[in-house]
Amino acid sequence: MRRILIVGAGQSGLQLALGLQSKGYEVTLMSNRTADEIRSGRVMSTQCMFHTALQHERDLGLNFWESQAPRIEGVGVSVAGPDASRPVDWVGRLDGFAQSVDQRVKMAGWMETFAQRGGQLVIHGAAVSDLDFFARTYDLVMVAAGKGELVSMFGRDASRSPYTEPQRALAVSYVHGLGPRPEHPDFDAVRCNLVPGVGELFVMPTLTTSGRADILFWEGIPGGPLDVFQGVTDPGEHLSLTLELMERFTPWEYARATKVELTDAGGTLAGRYAPTVRNPVGRLPGGGLVLGVADVVVANDPITGQGSNSASKCAASYLASIVERGEEAFDEEWMRGAFERYWATAGPVVKWTNAMLGAPPEHVLQLIGAASALQPVADRFANGFDDPSDFEGFFFEEEKAAAYLAEVGAPTPPLP
């Protein structure tokens, strides 16, 4: 029986551990926190998982909360005008529903399931020196802990990483008491509110430790009016700032948030990081090799909501590569091949996410505007969150955008 060590108990690490366990591998999982510590700790993310990623969980029988979590059936886009008006507002329908489960709920539950099924769970904050020892006793060591000392083993891939600095300041609040959008009260949707030159507000329903809730998530351009959360440690002050900014920039969202309260004392999060693609193979001091997983090697800005989706897809891709390897060695060539197989999925995500961080070109503004009048355009945008590779066909190049809009019957924009 092949022995595999996974360091990190997030979406990718746990999904991979449980998947390998189901295939008969001897799996050890290292986490720096217990399930109870995760469950009672601070929120970790703003996960919204779309159909393909959710199906990977279903395939492993890990969709424990599917009947409890809100069904997200659409993705809406609103664009704020200079006077806080809303000149663009539409919602695209998803072909398959999305869901968000607070990672405190999911990771704690999955970790307990792993242990109950006989997996070896080690509660220990691993250092490089630990992995140097373990690499000699396991057939494969994978690092799925996206922060801390271990990430330094994986060098930045400059050819795939256009940014060296954070492109957004991030601020998250989990709340109870948010009202519905009056124009679409019959189904749940993720709402993307674009404030040109300032940032973005995302609003999404979720399942948290206390039941149904909503996530208010500001992404602010560094140094701009939304970049005010650094150093704010009081959760109540964090929420107040969030609401003040909503009232100023997205009053239509603020109107349904006047009675919200935080879900719990750990329901806020703030930070920033530079989007980065790293070398997938880490070399230990003793010569051993480790394979980076998910956001250890491909860390996107959350502006496109792809973090947990990419983690699930990475785990599924690596699982297939490991099983197909049989009894052969997990050498460096195999590691790089396994990553490139995943990159076929991750590459389009990186391209789309990095494009969304910049000022949109005119043809993208035309696409967003056309979605207000043409439901097929809105629906295609929405389903791109599940399959970002589709953006290649109509989003990046002016000629392809024009051809697509002509295909769906959009009026030709006037000549300048």
The span from the CA of 125 to the CA of 137, in Å, is: 18
pLDDT digits (tens, 9 = 90+) for 30-67: 999 999 999 999 999 999 999 999 999 999 999 999 99
Beta strands in 100-181 (DSSP E): 120-123, 140-143, 169-176
At residue 413, the pLDDT reads: 53
List of domains in the chain: 3-62+102-163+275-356 (3.50.50.60), 72-100+165-271 (3.30.9.40), 361-407 (no CATH)
Measured in degrees and rounded to the nearest 5, phi and psi for residue 28 equal -110, 135
- Spatial CB neighbours of 262, under 8 Å, sequence gap ≥ 6: 173, 174, 175, 176, 235, 236, 239, 268
Q: Could you tell me which residues come within 8 angstroms of residue 286 by beta carbon, excluding any fewer than 6 positions away?
A: 132, 135, 136
C-alpha radius of gyration, the chain, whole number: 21
In the chain, what percentage of residues exceed pLDDT 70? 99
Does residue 416 register a pLDDT over 50? no
Distance from the first to the final alpha carbon of the chain: 68
Residue 1 pLDDT grade (very low, low, confident, very high; cuts 50, 70, 90): confident
CA 332, CA 110: separation in Å to the nearest integer?
A: 30
Q: Which two tokens stand for residue 94?
A: 């998803």
- E strands in 273-373: 276-277, 281-283, 289-292, 298-299
* Tens digits of residue pLDDT in 341-381: 999 999 999 999 999 999 999 999 999 999 999 999 999 99
Find, among 107, 125, 6, 116, the residue nearest to 64 by Cα. 107
pLDDT-derived band at 415, boundaries 50, 70, 90: very low
Integer CA distances (angstroms), 15 to 6, 239, 293, in order:
11, 32, 11
| CB-side neighbour CA atoms (13 Å) of 309 | 25
pLDDT at 412: 60
- Are the C-beta atoms of 73 and 188 separated by less than 8 Å? yes
Please write the tens of the pLDDT for every residue from 122-160: 999 899 999 999 999 999 999 999 677 899 999 999 999
* Size of the chain in residues: 416
Report in angstroms the alpha-carbon separations of 311 from 21, 47, 378. 18, 11, 26
